[in-house]
Amino acid sequence: MNLSKSTSSSIAIAAFSLLLLSCNQTESSKTTATKKVDSTGSKTKEYLSQPLVSHIYTADPSAHVFNGRIYVYPSHDTATGTPEDDLGSHFNMMDYHILSMDSVGGKVTDHGVALDIKNIPWAGRQLWAPDAAFANNTYYLYFPVKDKQDVFRIGVATSSKPEGPFTPEAAPIKGSYSIDPCVFKDDDGSFYMYFGGIWGGQLQRWNNNSYDSTKGNRKADEAAILPRIAKLSADMKSFAGPVKEIQVLGQDGKPYTEKNNDKRFFEGAWTFKKDGKYYFTYSTGDTHNLVYATGTSPYGPFTYQGIILNPVEGWTSHHSIIEKDGKWWLFYHDTQLSGKTHLRNVKVTELKYNDDGSIQTISANK
């Protein structure tokens, strides 16, 4: 704007701007971030959505629709004073709180502590991102936690209610390792667990399902570490077969190397199916994108397609995607409430597709 214009012109422009703002406020949803202005009139940070809850810090939301209601299974961030490092030791979660709502935008209920680390016999430290499933008239909560040897394993707990409380099994799932379990139910009723995360998630230490504590992160020109999949048994508490790697390929049909860190898998897998197509979505971690790849089988291979969510405030992204009331929703987190990477807050926004099934990229803040 030319600041030399007359005062009357400035007033007219300001009035017109206010009129436009008033009109825009009648819209119930946006695809771009909402601007905020502080008391001095300066533009502050912009956010597409607001936190679902603000009385606790939440992250890594796994959302599901059970009995017509949305249940969100997040991590529960707490300020424990654990020193920060590249392996995520400062993400030192102690329990899970489950949130629920009738619909997006509705009142959110915090159901309290659903599972505490002190009640998991084999657990050592760090309850990271969980997921949930329903089968056998039972609700299952899947969670990663370091065992007493400081190795991440995946455990399972059960409840008669989606909000818990949950009772954990006495030992982790045999053959499980690393972090970020995502349980996907296919059309034929089969359940599959996707999991894995590099760096702090320790996936780089596993080769052919064997653990080697000396293994470090891959070098730039080495093959990128691949996510894992295992079919679940009918009891939902064990794997029906061996853990397998999932190929994530570029548009050229070639697997990624570690230097392709804006596209290769890092953590936070979430799989769903739409119009007969499998969508494998995940976080690129150190480049902070949420991205997706598609395939024709739950085992892949999956071909990279693009970005779902551009980087948000905070070190990385972790998400889930559900369909409810004829719309698709992306649950994600950022650090709006605290500004600290280990104290995050869960949010939700609408996810939109193009006619060819591709996902429209979202920018949640600027």
Residues catalogued as catalytic: 60, 267
The Cα 169–Cα 174 span in angstroms is 11
Q: Is the separation of the CB atoms in 285 and 266 below 8 Å?
A: yes
The Cα 268–Cα 285 span in angstroms is 9
The Cα 156–Cα 137 span in angstroms is 15
The Cα 305–Cα 289 span in angstroms is 13
How many other CB atoms are found less than 10 A from the CB of residue 308? 24
The Cα 4–Cα 308 span in angstroms is 43
The Cα 131–Cα 145 span in angstroms is 13
The Cα 266–Cα 292 span in angstroms is 12
Residue among 110, 216, 95, 91 at smallest CA distance from 163: 110
**50 CB-side CA count, 13 A:** 9
The Cα 329–Cα 49 span in angstroms is 12
